[in-house]
Amino acid sequence: QMWQVGKRQASRAFSLYANIDILRPYFDVEPVQVRARLLESMIPVKMINFPQKIAGELYGPLMLVFTLVAILLHGMKTSDTIIREGTLMGTAIGTCFGYWLGVSSFIYFLAYLCNAQITMVQMLSLLGYGLFGHCITLFVTYNIHFHSLFYVFWLGVGGLSTLRMVAVLVSRTVGHTQRLILCGTLAALHMLFLLYLHFAYHKVVEGILDTLEGPNMPPFQRVARDIPVVSNAVLNTTAKAVALTL
């Protein structure tokens, strides 16, 4: 009897607080629309005097974040990345969702300060679609390991998607200082995130002698990466040196 009452109360509380039906209108999309929006996210708009329309939809961004997680996992697996505290899956999901939700909230807060006309859902949607460029870049460069190719993609593809987001935000903000703050922050975070994802999560096959490699190791050393050729060479020369001195 008590079980029945308890169950009824719990289900009432559950339906009140965990009502996911409020998210229902954001998932009402057709495949054509999603494809169109994906392609649009790479094209910066020219008209910044008129507030650009942003589709407040969550299906596309959510799928893109999950795709980014999958690409990260694939990259980590192919490069035998070892994460000492935590799991591969947890790290990937934490990074991607943390970026999407965290940076969206931060930019939304800045937009509130700078008086920009954008809602939270629109910001989530905009940033989510901006991750499409990241997905493409990482997918290509995790499989083809050329540094110069990565930089081309970083500037080209990453730049395009950043420009689109920036243009949309500029069209919705008045005042030069505000525009500068908002768009500068977003551009910096977006481009740096791509850089971070590339260098932190996959094995660097060639280019250990590349001087640009140095500062790009993440401060918290999560991976134990070893290039067998180099370490063997070092071992051999050390052994030879020791043998010579003896």
Partner 1 sequence: MSNFEQFHFDFYQSNYTIDDQEDSYNSYGSNKNLCGTRKTQTIEELPASAFAPSEMLLSSQSYTGQILQPTYSPDTLSHLSYTDGFDEEPPLLEELGINFEHIWQKTLTVLNPMKPADGSIMNETDLTGPMVFCLALGATSLLAGKVHFGYLYGMSAIGCLAMHALLNLMSIPGVSHGCVASVLGYCLLPMVILSSSAVIFSLQGILGTLLALFIIGWCSFSASKIFTSALAMEGQQLLIAYPCALLYGLFALLTVF
Least separation in angstroms between residue 24's CB and partner 1 is 5
Residue numbers 14-53 binding partner 1 by CB under 8 A: 20-21, 23-24, 27-31, 34
Q: Which is nearer to partner 1, 69 or 116 (CB)?
A: 69
Q: Report the 10 Å Cβ neighbour count for 16.
A: 8
Let me know: does 183 contact 166? Beta carbons within 8 Å: yes
Q: Which is nearer to partner 1, 33 or 52 (CB)?
A: 33
* Least distance CB 4 / partner 1 (angstroms): 12
List all residues 6 or more positions away from 132 whose beta carbon is below 8 Å from its beta carbon: 38, 41, 42, 64, 161
Nearest CA to 45 among 168, 130, 228, 211? 168
The string of DSSP letters for 130-173 reads HHHHHHHHHHHHHHS--HHHHHHHIIIIIHHHHHHHHHHHHHT-
- Indicate the residue among 110 and 140 with the shorter CB distance to partner 1: 140
Helix (H, G, I), strand (E, B) or coil at 180: helix
Q: What CA–CA distance (Å, rounded) separates 216 from 195?
A: 9
User: By rule CB under 8 A, what string of x and - marks binding of each residue 52-91 to partner 1?
Assistant: -------x---x--xx--x--xx--x--------------
Count of residues for the chain?
Answer: 246
Q: Which is nearer to partner 1, 90 or 175 (CB)?
A: 90
Q: Which is nearer to partner 1, 57 or 170 (CB)?
A: 57
CB 181 within 8 A of CB 110: yes
What distance lies between CA 83 and its chain's CA centroid?
19
Nearer to partner 1, 27 or 112 (CB): 27
CB 160: neighbour CB atoms within 10 A?
17
Shortest distance (Å) from residue 14 CB to partner 1: 9
**Under rule CB under 8 A, residue 139 binds partner 1:** no
Q: In the bound complex, what is the minimum distance in angstroms from residue 32's beta carbon to partner 1?
A: 9
Q: Tell the smallest beta-carbon distance from residue 66 to partner 1 (Å).
A: 5
Site size for partner 1 (CB under 8 A) = 19
Question: Measured from the CB of residue 11, what is the shortest distance to partner 1 in angstroms?
Answer: 8
Residues forming the site for partner 1 (CB under 8 A) = 11, 20-21, 23-24, 27-31, 34, 59, 63, 66-67, 70, 73-74, 77
